[in-house]
């Protein structure tokens, strides 16, 4: 029997390999293995908080593809609409963790991946989006290839036709495409979006939007693309492993700028923080509106940064304790 899903995400899954103990990649003698990918990370965050969540992607039928699928299933995410292929490959990426003054770095090995070779028409979107309230994707997916870009546009068009909210995370990756290429494609996707997620850097790089404050950036983007909500995460990095983390969200219907809580984070692994924010925000938005979205988004993404790997392990109850001012004493 087909399961229902409130929340559907669409994008590439990757296997991450990283040297332990801050080692340089060139000197590594062992590698830690994690499954990730922006839209999968977002799906897992939403599922952790209680959303019925479905992940749509294209995977190669081999042990790495099964690793991805098994990870999603184990985290409570429906995988019934994954497109399987006996060809291509699962993309890899390598993360080298630095410490001040050496920054973290990423090396991609994803050319010719199963998701990069997807084509429009491979996903049955009316079935994948049945009963869904939100479709979420990001700027990483269309950056993979022309086919992936066309498949992403097909997905958001199908969602609009079915009156499903469209959520887009800019997620600009300079190693995948240029700012000019991103601007052309993401401007089209933003025209179909209802909710837009961005960082303080990506809004300038992708859309060329620069204002005196991020409050003004958010309202300008909402006006330009007729968006319901624009959410921008804000990070300060006094050191590689000590950050402050918060976010704002502009709500067009009320012409109101909402500010979320701020956390000082001792960073264990910041990869996937923005993805977890999007999953938490969408949970809160669907259940309680924009301010609830900010609270759950910031809370779960702050917790995500305290644990290794791309995906978050946190319950709704843990997030709520943090938002209520949970302390740092051992919980017995």
Q: Could you report the per-residue pLDDT of 244-286, keeping only the tens digit for each?
A: 999 999 999 999 999 999 999 999 999 999 999 999 999 999 9
Q: Could you report the per-residue pLDDT of 90-121, keeping only the tens digit for each?
A: 999 999 999 989 999 999 999 999 999 999 99
222: left (phi over 0), alpha (psi -120 to 50) or beta: alpha
**Tokens 């992708």, located at residue:** 206
**Tokens 């559907």, located at residue:** 8
Q: Give the model's pLDDT for residue 200.
A: 83
Q: Give the model's pLDDT for residue 2.
A: 55
What is the rounded distance in angstroms from the CA atom of residue 312 to the CA atom of residue 44? 7
Banded model confidence at residue 192, pLDDT cuts 50, 70, 90: very high
Banded model confidence at residue 330, pLDDT cuts 50, 70, 90: very low
What is the rounded distance in angstroms from the CA atom of residue 1 to the CA atom of residue 268? 40
User: Any idea which residues carry the catalytic annotation?
Assistant: 275
What is the rounded distance in angstroms from the CA atom of residue 318 to the CA atom of residue 321? 5
- pTM comes to 0.96
Q: Give the model's pLDDT for residue 331.
A: 45
Contact assessment for residue 257 and residue 248, using Cβ atoms and an 8 Å cutoff: yes
Q: Domain locations in the chain? A: 7-13+38-89+124-323
What is the rounded distance in angstroms from the CA atom of residue 279 to the CA atom of residue 281? 5
User: What is the phi/psi pair of residue 272, to 5°?
Assistant: 90, 0
CATH class of 7-13+38-89+124-323: alpha beta
Q: Could you report the per-residue pLDDT of 168-191, keeping only the tens digit for each?
A: 999 999 999 999 999 999 999 999
Q: What is the 3-state secondary structure (H, E, C) of the chain?
A: CCCCCCEEEECCCEEEEECCCCCCHHHCCCCEEEEECHHHHHHHHHHHHCCCEEEECEEECCHHHHHHHHHHHHCCEECCCCEEECCCECEEEEEECCECCECCEEEEECCCECCCCCCCCCCCHHHHCCCCCEEEEECHHHHCCHHHHHHHHHHHHHHHHCCCEEEEECCCCCCCCCHHHHHHHHHHHHHHCCEEEEECCHHHHHHCCCCCCHHHHHHHHHHHHCCCEEEEEEEEEEECCEEEEEEEEEECCCCEEEECCCEEEECCCCCCHHHHHHHHHHHHHHHHCHHHHHHHHHHHHHHHCCCCCCCCCCCHHHHHHHHCCCCCCCCC
The answer for residues whose C-beta is within 8 angstroms of residue 285's C-beta and 6 or more apart is 195, 229, 292, 293
Mean pLDDT of all residues in 299-314: 98
Q: Give the model's pLDDT for residue 131.
A: 92
Banded model confidence at residue 240, pLDDT cuts 50, 70, 90: confident
Q: Give the model's pLDDT for residue 100.
A: 87
Report in angstroms the alpha-carbon separations of 256 from 249, 251, 286. 8, 5, 18
Mean pLDDT of all residues in 299-310: 98
Q: Could you report the per-residue pLDDT of 193-224, keeping only the tens digit for each?
A: 999 999 988 999 999 999 999 999 999 999 99
């Amino acid at each position: 029997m087909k399961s229902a899903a409130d929340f559907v995400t669409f994008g590439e899954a990757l296997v991450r390999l990283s040297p332990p103990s801050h080692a340089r990649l060139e000197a590594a003698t062992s590698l830690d293995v994690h499954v990730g990918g922006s839209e999968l990370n977002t799906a897992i965050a939403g599922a952790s908080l209680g959303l019925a969540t479905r992940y749509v992607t294209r995977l190669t039928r081999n042990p790495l593809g099964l690793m991805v699928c098994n990870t999603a299933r184990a985290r409570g995410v429906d995988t019934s609409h994954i497109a399987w292929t006996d060809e291509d490959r699962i993309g890899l990426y390598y993360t080298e963790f630095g410490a001040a003054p050496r920054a973290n770095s990423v090396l991609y090995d994803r050319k010719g991946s199963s998701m990069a070779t997807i084509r429009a028409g491979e996903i049955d979107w009316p079935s994948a989006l049945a009963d869904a309230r939100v479709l979420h994707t990001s700027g990483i997916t269309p950056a993979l290839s022309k086919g992936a870009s066309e498949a992403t546009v097909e997905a958001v068009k199908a969602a609009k036709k079915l009156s499903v909210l469209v959520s887009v995370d800019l997620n600009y990756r300079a190693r995948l495409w240029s700012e000019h290429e991103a601007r052309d494609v993401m401007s089209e996707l933003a025209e179909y979006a209802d909710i837009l997620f961005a960082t303080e850097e990506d809004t300038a790089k992708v859309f060329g939007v620069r204002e005196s404050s991020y409050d003004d950036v958010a309202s300008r983007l909402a006006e330009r693309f007729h968006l319901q909500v624009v959410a921008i995460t804000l990070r300060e990095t006094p050191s590689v492993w000590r950050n402050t983390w918060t976010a704002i969200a502009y709500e067009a219907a009320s012409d109101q700028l909402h500010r979320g809580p701020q956390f000082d984070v001792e960073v264990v692994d910041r990869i996937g923080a923005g993805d977890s924010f999007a999953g938490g925000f969408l949970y809160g938005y669907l259940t309680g509106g924009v301010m609830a979205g900010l609270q759950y988004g910031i809370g779960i993404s702050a917790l995500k940064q305290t644990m290794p790997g791309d995906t978050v392990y946190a319950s709704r109850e843990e997030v709520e304790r943090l938002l209520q001012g949970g302390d740092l004493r051992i919980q017995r």
